[in-house]
Each structure stands twice: as C-alpha cells, then as structure tokens.
C-alpha cells in the first residue's frame, strides 16, 4: 500500500462537475493498493498517518498530528501510485490491485480511518475520473509505502 500524504488548508474532489468531498485544514491522501496488501497494512498505515506530526505547534514547529489539530482527511484511490516506469515510456500498472481486490481494501481503510479519527473521512469515487483540487500547506508532502517502512 502506497500513499502520498499532503498537508492542506483545503481540498476537494469532484466527479463530472459534482462536488463529492471537501475539507478544510487536514490531510489529502492519495492511496494506491497492490495485490499484496492486507489488514496489517491498513492498521499500520492508519496509525502512521493519524500520528504523523506534520502540523505546526505554537512555536511554528511541525509537532502536532491531524488528531491533535482536529483536522479532516480525504482519501482518494490512485492506482497509478504503483506505476512501474522501468521499461519503456508507457507506465505499467501490473502491481496495482484490480478493482475487485482493491475496492474492499480501500473501503476497509476508509472505515478504519474514520473509526480512529472519530469522524467521517472524505473520499472520491473508486475508479471514477476525479478532479482533485488542493491547497498544499507548506508545502508538506510525504510518501509512505507499507512494504518499505522507513
């Protein structure tokens, strides 16, 4: 499971011009799921994201988590995070899970995130052509791969 985490002052997702989700201050997660991902990956990644200290404290130091600032979260599925560009110029997505595998994992991730965050999490529409807008704050952008826990 791979995620690109962006600290935002606002973010939204639209599908066919219709607003699906929007948040103020918080995190936008682009989430890529592979066939190898399990509930262990979900649990670990949810804990890691919720406890990342990427928000400023009163001294302007990134020392607070999204939980501590009562921030919001949007999770957007993005299979292209598993693109392989090793060979040629056309990315291969063979490592990305097919929808029948990825959809239940994505939904479980969102439910677990909501439970631990204590409020609803915004989403896109799985597999849809989405328009994601954000105002990256900082900018702060972090990439996490559950198979490479650095």
pLDDT (tens digit per residue) in 39-87: 999 999 999 999 999 999 999 999 999 999 999 999 999 998 988 888 8
Catalytic residue among 9, 38, 39, 80: 80
- Read off φ and ψ for residue 113, nearest 5 degrees: -60, -45
On whether residue 94 sits in a domain, the answer given is: yes
Catalytic residue among 3, 6, 55, 78: 78
Q: Which of 97, 105, 98 is nearest to 34 (CA)?
A: 97
Catalytic residue among 6, 79, 109, 123: 79
Would you call 80 a catalytic residue per the annotation? yes
Task: Check: pTM over 0.85? Answer yes or no.
Answer: yes
What CATH number is given to the structural domain containing 40? 3.50.80.10
Residue 26 region by backbone torsions, left for phi larger than 0, else alpha for psi between -120 and 50, else beta: left
Q: Which domain holds residue 46?
A: 2-145
On whether residue 41 sits in a domain, the answer given is: yes
Structural domains counted in the chain:
1
On whether residue 15 sits in a domain, the answer given is: yes
The answer to whether the beta carbons of residues 32 and 145 sit under 8 Å apart is no
On whether residue 150 sits in a domain, the answer given is: no
Would you call 55 a catalytic residue per the annotation? no
């Amino acid at each position: 499971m791979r995620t690109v985490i962006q600290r935002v002052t606002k973010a939204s997702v639209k599908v066919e011009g219709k607003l699906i989700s929007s948040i103020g201050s918080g995190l936008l997660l682009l989430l890529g799921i592979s066939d190898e991902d399990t509930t262990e990956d979900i649990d670990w990644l949810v804990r890691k994201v919720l406890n990342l200290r990427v928000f400023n404290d009163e001294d302007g130091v990134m020392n607070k988590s999204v939980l501590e600032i009562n921030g919001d979260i949007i999770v957007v599925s993005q299979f292209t995070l598993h693109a392989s560009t090793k060979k040629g110029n056309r990315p291969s997505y063979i490592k990305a899970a097919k929808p029948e595998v990825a959809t239940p994992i994505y939904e479980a991730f969102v439910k677990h995130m909501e439970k631990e965050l204590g409020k609803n999490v915004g989403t896109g529409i799985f597999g849809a052509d989405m328009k994601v807008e954000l105002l990256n704050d900082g900018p702060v952008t972090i990439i996490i791969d559950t198979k490479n826990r650095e």
